[in-house]
Amino acid sequence: MNKIFFAIATTVVMAGCSSKNLDLTNPNKITTETFWKNEADVQSAFAATYGLFKNVDGGYWGVRGVELSNGRGDDFFIRNDVSYLYQLSTFTNTPDNAAANNVFNISYRAIFRANQILENIDKVSGLDDTKKKQYIAEAKFLRGLNYYILAVNFGAVPLRTTVPVATADYFIPVSAEPEIWAQVIKDFTEAAVDLPLSYSATDLGRATKGAALGFLGKSYVYLKDWPNAETTLKQLTVAPFTYQLMSNYGDNFTVANDNNIESLFEIQLADVGGTNPWAGENANESLGVTTAQEFAPSEVSGWFEVSPTDKLFNEFQKEKTTTNELDPRMYATLMWDYPGATFYNKPFSDFSLQFGYQSMYKKYQNYTKDNELTGSNGGSYTSNINEKALRYADVLLLLSEAVTMQSRPADAYPYITMVRNRAQLPALTAGLDETLMMAEIRHQRMLEFAREGQRFYDLKRWGLLQQELTNSDKVGKQFYVVNKHDYFPIPQDEINSNSKAEQNSYWK
């Protein structure tokens, strides 16, 4: 009898709940096995790749990216608030610099995502050949642009064109800077072939053939490959392309003129989605940027993190317009104490200049509103003015440079004149030689692209960093070390976690 009890009890007790109970699937997310099935999957993969450009921590056109790309210029001051920004702007940055590290990491996140699109596009059903080619071209454009960002800022970096499969694939050495540029040229070249000239209203804002050619031409300029730069950029001045300068320079930096005729590529920003710009990559993230709020004066709820230097303020006043006025670009770029100056619907006298400099940045600020506190959708500190990544004015000035550098300064006149005319400047003296034409191009680039992340990189490729920093009122200029500060060091985190990565020799 007892044995029976024991047997029964044991059987019942040990007869398990089945091990099927252990088969649980993630209720929150689909997996890679169920993704990459249709065109909608590809579309959403692109959104996730483009979106990184505006990333608040390290997107190249997000607030930290803008501070990083402008911060080292002789035209730009960053105040001692966020210490890593102050350090990079005063050439006292270390390999731990958070802004540089985030730009590095975010660029590689975008490359990882672009590589995923390239590797999985074949699994997607229902794509015709043209569509597929177009998507491949678009992914290559995105990968190329991210390598461009890495090349100009870091030089030699790891080169990844595939998705890591095994753990060992995470660790790869850095490739020399020319190899990175070769990839940039290859990606932009291939992208330009299959990208469309334009998009429908619903898809406006994605990479076009013009964007790919523009960045390709710009890359040739960085490589000092003047003939290729010229032929590439020249294509953009003729049909089928229809790029033109906006008649009013300042219109480039207002919400009303997003995606205008002067824009080859811009970062799409709007106060839609969530309401929190610091939420990370999720539904709560607001899809604008906080740059305008961080740059705005304290009187309109800004954090006045940056300021133009007086070198820039003075450079604008070197040449007057045909009507003997100040350059209209100065009025669009800066705010200072001039008769009738109003900013955020307040007289300039309501504001105070905090750093001893004579002006503040106006470009990309929402100065027609009362303050920078709330975006249109209630998102905190959110600005929705699209950041222009490449303007036609840049194409024209790069083209001027490409021909001038081939000792044909006369050929630069038509292009540089368009830029000057828009600024209502008098006709350029005829017969400038190569040196004088280059000086004029440099002067125009400094004015045209202030706060657009070009100045430091222009000076670097012209070999003028030392000279121009020295003759400026840039804080921290005494800490600039030739060669060393031309690049950011490979992030310490990358060196720490990647035994194959070697630090830039100037930073060892």
DSSP classification of residue 374: B
Beta-bridge mates of residue 263: 391
**How many angstroms separate the CA atoms of 132 and 124, rounded?**
9
Q: Do 221 and 398 touch, CB atoms closer than 8 A?
A: yes
Q: Judged by CB, which is closer to other proteins: 338, or 479? A: 479
Three-state secondary structure call for residue 116: helix
**How many angstroms separate the CA atoms of 396 and 154, rounded?**
27
CA dihedral (223, 459, 259, 421) in degrees, to 10, reads -110
Structure tokens at 135: 């998507």
Phi and psi, residue 329, nearest 5° = -65, -25
Q: Judged by CB, which is closer to other proteins: 228, or 380? A: 380
Site residues for other proteins, window 137-166 (CB under 8 A)? 157-158, 160, 164
Q: Judged by CB, which is closer to other proteins: 80, or 247? A: 80
Q: Given candidates 182, 326, 341, 373, which one binds other proteins under the rule CB under 8 A?
A: 373
Q: Given candidates 70, 268, 365, 366, which one binds other proteins under the rule CB under 8 A?
A: 268
- C-alpha closest to that of 62 among 259, 212, 280: 280
Q: How far is CA 440 from CA 315, 434, 444, in A?
A: 12, 10, 6
Beta-bridge mates of residue 265: 390
DSSP classification of residue 73: S
Binding mask 406-445 for other proteins (x = CB under 8 A): ----------------------------------------
Q: Judged by CB, which is closer to other proteins: 389, or 447? A: 389
Distance of CA 216 to the CA centre of its chain: 15
- C-alpha closest to that of 165 among 75, 320, 32, 269: 32
256 sits near other proteins (criterion: CB under 8 A) = no
Q: How far is the CB of 128 from other proteins (least distance, A)?
A: 21
Q: Given candidates 122, 123, 171, 433, which one binds other proteins under the rule CB under 8 A?
A: 171
9 sits near other proteins (criterion: CB under 8 A) = yes
Q: Candidates 122-130, 176-184, 203-211, 310-318 — which segment interacts with other proteins by CB under 8 A?
A: 203-211
Q: Given candidates 198, 274, 410, 477, which one binds other proteins under the rule CB under 8 A?
A: 274
321 sits near other proteins (criterion: CB under 8 A) = no
324 sits near other proteins (criterion: CB under 8 A) = no
Site residues for other proteins, window 82-141 (CB under 8 A)? 82-84, 86, 90, 92, 94-96, 98, 101, 104-105, 108-113, 115-116
Q: Given candidates 127, 131, 225, 272, which one binds other proteins under the rule CB under 8 A?
A: 272
- C-alpha closest to that of 118 among 151, 149, 144, 152: 144
Q: Give me the amino acid identity at 236.
A: L
Q: Judged by CB, which is closer to other proteins: 29, or 318? A: 29
Size of the site for other proteins (CB under 8 A): 125
Q: Which residue has the tokens 């898809």?
A: 203
Site residues for other proteins, window 376-405 (CB under 8 A)? 377-380, 384
Q: Candidates 176-184, 188-196, 200-208, 440-448 — which segment interacts with other proteins by CB under 8 A?
A: 200-208
Q: Given candidates 203, 325, 337, 350, which one binds other proteins under the rule CB under 8 A?
A: 203
270 sits near other proteins (criterion: CB under 8 A) = yes
**How many angstroms separate the CA atoms of 138 and 235, rounded?**
19
Binding mask 452-481 for other proteins (x = CB under 8 A): -----------------------xx--x--
282 sits near other proteins (criterion: CB under 8 A) = yes
Q: How far is the CB of 137 from other proteins (least distance, A)?
A: 18
DSSP classification of residue 371: -
Q: Judged by CB, which is closer to other proteins: 39, or 299? A: 299
Q: Given candidates 25, 349, 429, 505, which one binds other proteins under the rule CB under 8 A?
A: 25
Q: How far is CA 135 from CA 114, 182, 214, 279, 370, in A?
A: 10, 21, 19, 29, 42
The H-or-E segment that residue 20 falls in is none
